[in-house]
Structure 1
Amino acid sequence: MEQTAQYLAISFSHKNTQIATREKLAFASNESIKEFLQTLKNQNPDILEILLLSTCNRVEIYIYTHNAESITDKVTTALAALKDLSDSYLREIADVYIQEGAVHHVFCVASSLDSIVVGETQIAGQLKSAYKFCFDNGFCGKGLTRLVHFAFRCAAQVRNATQISQNAVSVASVAVKKASAILENDAIKDKIAVVIGAGEMGALLSKHLLVCGYRILLLNRNKTHAQTLAQTLNAQTPNSVEVRNFSELSTLINQYPLLLVATAAPSHIVLDSMIEPSDFKRFWFDLSVPRNIQPPSMEGITLFSVDDLEQVMHENLANRKRNTTKAYEIIGIYTLEFFKWLSSLGVEPVIKKLRDMAKDASLRELDRAIKKGFLPKEYKENVAKILHNAFNIFLHQPTINIKKLSDKEEADPIIEAIKGVFGIDDEAILINRYKCEYDTILN
Structure 2
Amino acid sequence: MSYLSISFTHKNTDIQTREKIAFSNESSVETFLKSVKADDSIDEVVLLSTCNRVEIMTTSSNIKQSTNKIFDTLAKYSGLDFDNLIEIADIYDNTGAIHHLFSVASALDSLVIGETQIVGQLKDSFRLALSKGYCGKDISKAMNYAFKCAANVRNETSLGTGSVSVASTAVSKAKDIIQNTQGVKALVIGAGEMSELTMKHLNKAGFDIVLISRDIKKAKMLVDTFDFEVDVQAYENLEKYLNEVPVMVTATSAPYPIIKEDMVKPCTFNRYWFDIALPRDIEEFESPNLQIYAVDDLQDIVNSNMILRAEQAKRAYMIVNQESEKFFKWLKSLEVEPVVKHLYKRADNVIEKKLENAIKKGFIKSEDEENIKKLCQTVLNEFLHEPTTRLKKISKDVECDIILGTVQSVFGLEGGSNSIKKCDHAIKFNY
**TM bracket (short chain):** 0.7 to 0.9
**1:295: Cα distance to partner?**
2.9
User: What does residue range 11-410 of structure 1 map to in structure 2 within 5 Å?
Assistant: 11-42=7-38, 44-167=39-162, 169-184=164-179, 189-233=182-226, 236-237=227-228, 240-346=229-335, 347-348=337-338, 351=341, 386-389=374-377
Matched residue SS, 1:105: helix
Conservation of the 8 A alpha-carbon contact between 1:119 and 1:168: no
Q: What's the offset of the Cα at 1:189? A: 4.7
Paired residue type of 1:78: T
Deviations 1:57-90 (A, max 9, x none): 0011000011112211221121011111111110
Structure 1 Cα separation of the partners of residues 22 and 262 of structure 2: 26
Within 2, Cα distance between the matches of 1:202 and 1:110?
A: 21
One-letter amino acid of the structure 2 residue matched with residue 232 of structure 1: T
Distance 1:71 1:310 in 2: 34
Per-residue Cα deviation, 1:167-192 (whole angstroms, up to 9, x for no partner)? 251111111111011011xx565321
Q: Greater RCO between the two (CA within 8 Å, min separation 6)? A: 2
Q: 1:13: Cα distance to partner? A: 0.6
Deviations 1:85-107 (A, max 9, x none): 11111011000001000000000
State the distance in 1 between where 2:285 and 2:3 align.
Answer: 44
Residue ranges of structure 1 left out of the alignment (5+ in a row): 356-382, 394-443
Does the CA contact (< 8 Å) of 1:121 and 1:168 recur in 2? no
Structure 1 residue aligned with 2:361:
none
Q: Distance in 1 between matches of 2:148 and 2:377?
A: 42
Question: Residues 391 and 170 of structure 1: is their aligned pair in 2 closer, same or farther, counting only changes over 3 Å?
Answer: farther
Q: Does the CA-based 8 Å contact 2:181-2:207 persist in structure 1? A: no
Q: Distance in 2 between matches of 1:173 and 1:46?
A: 41
The DSSP-based 3-state class of the residue aligned with 1:284 is strand
Query: 1:121 and 1:353, CA in 2 relative to 1: closer, same or farther beyond 3 A?
Result: farther
The question of whether the paired residues in 1 share the 8 Å contact of 2:35 and 2:73 is answered with no
Taking only aligned residues, the RMSD between alpha carbons, in angstroms, comes to 2.1
Contact kept, 8 Å, 2:175 with 2:181, in 1: the verdict is no
- For the residue of structure 2 that corresponds to 1:85, the secondary structure is coil
Q: Could you tell me whether the CA contact under 8 Å between 2:181 and 2:206 is conserved in 1?
A: no
d(CA) in 2 for partners of 1:166, 1:352: 49
Instruction: Give how far 1:164 is off.
Output: 1.5
CA distance in 2, matches of 1:54, 1:193: 27
Which 10-residue stretch deviates more, 383-392 or 90-99? 383-392
Compared CA separation, residues 178 and 348, structure 1 to 2 (3 A)? same
Give secondary structure in 1 for the equivalent of 2:209.
Answer: strand
SS of 1:320 mapped into structure 2: helix
Partner-residue secondary structure (3-state), 1:92? helix
**Paired amino acid for 2:65:** S
Give the Cα separation in 2 of the matches to 1:36 and 1:275.
Answer: 36
Aligned mates of 1:57, 1:386 — CA distance in 2:
63
CA distance in 2 between counterparts of 1:46 and 1:266 reads: 31
Matches of 2:327 and 2:257 in 1, distance apart? Answer: 43
Give secondary structure in 1 for the equivalent of 2:87.
helix
Confirm or deny: 8 A CA contact 2:42 2:58 kept in the other structure.
Answer: yes
1:107, 1:151 within 8 Å by CA — same for their partners in 2?
Answer: yes
Name the CA distance, whole Å, in 1 between partners of 2:84 and 2:169.
31
